[in-house]
């Protein structure tokens, strides 16, 4: 199935305490395919990947499904895929991996094949091989996460919008200390993202940049968004090379190396 004909992802709205978020399986297929392809440019051997702000698990499970479909597990001899979120109950839901069966309506046949019916009515669960590939670790904020590990890739998707621009700077500085190569992020503070990336040694990757940007679905908003709007880092204009610093603002893949 071509991407143009692929069904739109079914979003799940999750709420707990003061934490909320929208997440979904296979939310941006161009992003998932590009992320897997870029990671496969890394040397064979071991790879460490960390997902911050994983919500109820749809994001890391989607990545692992695309990784399985696209030769990632043949490329690497061993891997650690860790995931966390600031909200412990979201992590517990991710570990339980029970989702409303309506999510299947947003999937193509290949994607749907990773799911099976659950013993819970109207729910589906994900294939054990996908579930077991990720290790959920205790709840943590990306602003003060600490680790002794070095991660080849860190994901902070659709989450920097929940912190201030100053906290974004702090978070990207902290992440750069334990991330050796790719930082995957979107819905960041657009006015300061270039400075945050430049000072930490990341450059924007151009691979499939426009396709990924325009793949963020309901976040694309043609009308200008005022910087004072709470949605300023969430809503994005359609991709255009006329946007100042578009290489950074319209990018979701930042790289410390060269592809």
Ligand X SMILES: C[S@@+](CC[C@H](N)C(=O)[O-])C[C@H]1O[C@@H](n2cnc3c(N)ncnc32)[C@H](O)[C@@H]1O
Residues making contact with ligand X (CB under 6 A):
19, 21-23, 27, 52-53, 55, 58-59, 85-87, 90, 141-143, 157-159, 162-163
Report yes or no: 54 and 87 within 8 Å, Cβ to Cβ.
no
- The interaxial angle of helices 190-200 and 165-178, nearest 10 deg, is 30
Q: How far is the CB of 59 from ligand X (least distance, A)?
A: 4
Shortest separation between residue 77's beta carbon and ligand X, angstroms: 28
- What SS3 state is found at 180? strand
Find out whether 114 and 26 touch, Cβ atoms under 8 Å: no
Half-sphere exposure of 66 (CA within 13 A, CB side): 23
Integer Cα distance of 159 and 90 in angstroms: 14
Cβ closer to ligand X: 59 or 255?
A: 59
- Smallest gap from residue 175 Cβ to ligand X (A): 11
Provide, rounded to whole angstroms, the least separation between the CB of residue 250 and ligand X: 17
Select 38 or 159, whichever has its Cβ closest to ligand X.
Answer: 159
The residue number whose beta carbon is nearest to ligand X equals 21
In terms of CB distance, is 34 or 158 closer to ligand X?
158
Q: Which is nearer to ligand X, 87 or 255 (CB)?
A: 87
For the CB of residue 88, give the shortest distance to ligand X in the complex, in Å.
Answer: 10
DSSP state of 107: -
Of 32 and 124, which has the nearer Cβ to ligand X? 32
| Pairing mode, strands 179-186 and 151-157 | parallel
Crossing angle for the helix pair 29-39 and 58-69, to the nearest 10 degrees: 60
């Amino acid at each position: 199935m071509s991407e143009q004909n692929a069904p739109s992802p079914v979003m799940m709205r999750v709420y707990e305490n003061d934490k909320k978020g929208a997440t979904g399986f296979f939310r941006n297929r161009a992003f998932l395919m590009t992320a897997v392809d870029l990671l496969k440019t890394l040397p064979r051997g071991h790879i460490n990947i960390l997902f911050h702000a994983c919500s109820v698990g749809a994001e890391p499970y989607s990545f692992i499904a695309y990784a399985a479909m696209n030769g990632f597990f043949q490329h690497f001899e061993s891997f650690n895929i860790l995931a966390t979120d600031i909200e412990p109950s979201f992590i517990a839901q991710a570990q339980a991996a029970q989702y409303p069966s309506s999510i299947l309506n947003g999937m193509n046949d290949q994607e749907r094949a990773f799911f099976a019916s659950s013993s819970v009515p109207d729910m589906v669960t994900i294939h054990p091989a996908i579930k077991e590939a990720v290790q959920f670790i205790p709840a943590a904020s990306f602003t003060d996460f600490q680790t002794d590990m070095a991660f080849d890739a860190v994901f902070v998707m659709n989450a920097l919008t929940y912190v201030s621009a100053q906290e974004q700077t702090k978070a990207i500085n902290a992440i750069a200390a334990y991330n050796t190569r790719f930082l995957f992020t979107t819905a960041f503070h657009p006015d300061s993202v270039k400075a945050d990336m430049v000072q930490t040694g990341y450059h924007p990757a151009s691979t499939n940049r426009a396709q990924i940007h325009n793949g963020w679905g309901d976040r694309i908003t043609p009308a200008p968004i005022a910087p004072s709007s709470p949605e300023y880092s969430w809503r994005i204009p359609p991709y255009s090379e006329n946007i100042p610093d578009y290489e950074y603002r319209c990018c979701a893949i930042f790289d410390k190396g060269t592809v």
